[in-house]
Amino acid sequence: MDWKYLPIFPESASNFSPHIDALYAYLVTVSAFFSILIAVVIVVFAFKYRRKSDSEIPVPLNEHGAGSMLLEITWSVIPLLLSLVMFGWGAMIFFDESKPPADAMDIWVVGKQWMWKIQHLEGAREINELHIPVNRNIRLTLTSEDVIHDFYVPAFRTKTDVVPGKYTTEWFRPTKVGEYHLFCAEYCGTKHSGMIGTIYVMNANDYDAWLSSGGTVGSMSEKGEALFQQLGCVTCHQSDGKGRCPKLVGLYGTNVELKGGATVVADASYIRESIVNPLTKIVNGYDGIMPTFQGLVTEDQIQQLIEYVKSIGPKSAAAAAGAQAGTPKNNPGAAANPARGTRP
């Protein structure tokens, strides 16, 4: 659908935009049709059935048999069907937006009063700007350092709460090179309205040039490894498994058996929790001896540590996660250029 001649929607620049615009067009059309219909009927009936004399008494429906079951059923069933379409259609888009494709490119985001901090796996970092290649599936993993923010890109029709203490994800595939607005869409303090930024969607070559132009030292996982040494994690989490704490090699994405018999998947949220709140989930066979690192590492650093744990994870973890997440669809970018899809 092309809204060029009716500019009530923001620019359409992601894989989701056409679907959401079509759903909105349906919602607006149905609402407008019934609003006008009801308003017209009210006015017409006010004249047609007005009281014509002081002594006039209306005829009760049932005594005359004038009520119509067919009419009652019709005006109940039609709106029911119309609203079920809204529900089904909306749910389909919601599920689509909730499931990032397995080949999605990871980018980490931290919101804080009042800025967006972004880290690319290759090590590039930016503030209030996000550079991404066009026609690639992008998955953002977001968290907040303080209060709830909300990462909102109208041109992509995506909007995700950014919550302290947990990770949320958002994915999209930008379909058009250009610059787009980024907003915080959750009131987060006095400068909430200034918590804005720009998304730069670039050609693949321009993006690669941008990535290598920043002069960044080390990828996220390399920075994470350095932290792992500095913070002394390595003294207990030894790579041969002989340390006092569980070994982290081959851990990422696997099932971990906890004290008490429960299991948990070693994903980003679990590793984050184990760093800031290590005693919440204790691995079976180990003692709860790890101190908390809350306040000692920033959210950015926790993300680097997670990337390090990911980098020493099982080789098959990515493939297994891919099988779980379902087959990637709607991804001409990766299909046209498979080599790019293999980037970690």
Tokens for 252? 């990422």
Side chain identity at residue 90, one-letter code:
G
**CA separation (Å) from 185 to 103, 111, 149, 325?**
28, 12, 7, 28
Question: What is the closest distance, in whole angstroms, from the C-beta atom of residue 20 to ligand CUA in the complex?
Answer: 22
Task: Give the DSSP letter string of 285-342.
Answer: TS-S-PPP-BTTB-HHHHHHHHHHHHHTS-TTHHHHHHHHH----S-HHHHH-HHHHT
Tokens of 306: 């997670």
Helix, coil or strand: residue 70 = helix
CB of 102 to ligand CUA, least distance (A): 30
Q: How far is the CB of 114 from ligand CUA (least distance, A)?
A: 6
Q: What share of the chain is helix, strand, coil (3-state, %, to 5)?
A: 40, 20, 40
Q: Cα(197)–Cα(195) distance, rounded to whole angstroms?
A: 7
> Smallest gap, in angstroms, from Cβ of residue 166 to ligand CUA?
16
310: amino acid identity, one letter: K
Nearer to ligand CUA, 100 or 111 (CB): 111
Nearer to ligand CUA, 113 or 216 (CB): 113
Least Å distance, CB 154 to ligand CUA, is 15
Exposed e or buried b for every residue in 117-127, given b needs 16+ CB within 10 A?
Answer: bbbbbebbebe
Instruction: Work out the end-to-end distance of the chain between its first and last CA atoms, rounded to an integer number of angstroms.
Output: 35
Closest distance to ligand CUA from the beta carbon of 111 (Å): 6
Between 189 and 332, name the residue whose CB sits nearer to ligand CUA. Answer: 189
Q: Is 145 or 208 the residue whose CB approaches ligand CUA more closely? A: 145
- Please state, as a whole number, how many other Cβ atoms lie within 10 Å of the Cβ of residue 160: 19
Of the pair 111, 333, the CB lying nearest ligand CUA is at 111
> Which C-beta is closer to ligand CUA: that of 182 or that of 266?
182
**C-beta closer to ligand CUA: residue 104 or 184:** 184
Q: Which is nearer to ligand CUA, 194 or 218 (CB)?
A: 194
The 3 state secondary structure assigned to 73-119 is HHHHHHHHHHHHHHHHHHHHHHHHHHCCCCCCEEEEEEEECCEEEEE
Backbone angles phi, psi at 260, to 5 degrees: 100, -5
Smallest separation (angstroms) from ligand CUA to the CB of 193: 8
CB of 186 to ligand CUA, least distance (A): 5
Q: How far is the CB of 195 from ligand CUA (least distance, A)?
A: 4
261: exposed, middle or buried (Cβ count in 10 Å: 0-12, 13-18, 19+)? exposed
Number of helices (H), then strands (E), in the chain:
11, 12
Binding site for ligand CUA (CB under 6 A): 111, 114, 149, 184, 186-188, 192, 195
| Cβ closest to ligand CUA, residue 147 vs residue 325 | 147
